[in-house]
Amino acid sequence: MMGWYGGGMGAGGWVLMGLFWIALIALIIWLVVRLLPSTSRGGSTPTQGAQDSPLEILDRRLARGEIDLETYQVHRAALIAARGGAR
């Protein structure tokens, strides 16, 4: 028979092709989940962040180590001055 090469794909080829497609689909799903923003990751929900005062947010940032003590004190003084000395 002319134009025919070999006996087609064997069982091993079908298994490898199936594993390739499963891995490709899993990779696409992982990338979509990883790249889309999620409220479950990252700590606070948007409604929780809206209820916190600026001083509470500043306190939390210091506790997490995001800012040092000097930065904390400068920002805290600025927030208290902007409020007119409240708290």
- pLDDT of 84: 80
- pLDDT of 52: 84
Helical pair 69-83 and 54-64, crossing angle rounded to 10 deg:
180
pLDDT tens for each residue of the chain, 87 residues long: 555 666 777 888 899 999 999 999 999 999 999 898 766 555 555 555 568 888 999 999 999 999 999 999 999 999 999 888 655
* Residue 63 neighbours by CB under 8 Å, 6+ apart: none
**What sections of 1-83 are H helices per DSSP?**
11-35, 46-51, 54-64, 69-83
pTM: 0.40
- Give me the residue spans of the domains in the chain: 11-37+45-83
- pLDDT of 22: 97
- pLDDT of 86: 56
d(CA 59, CA 62): 5
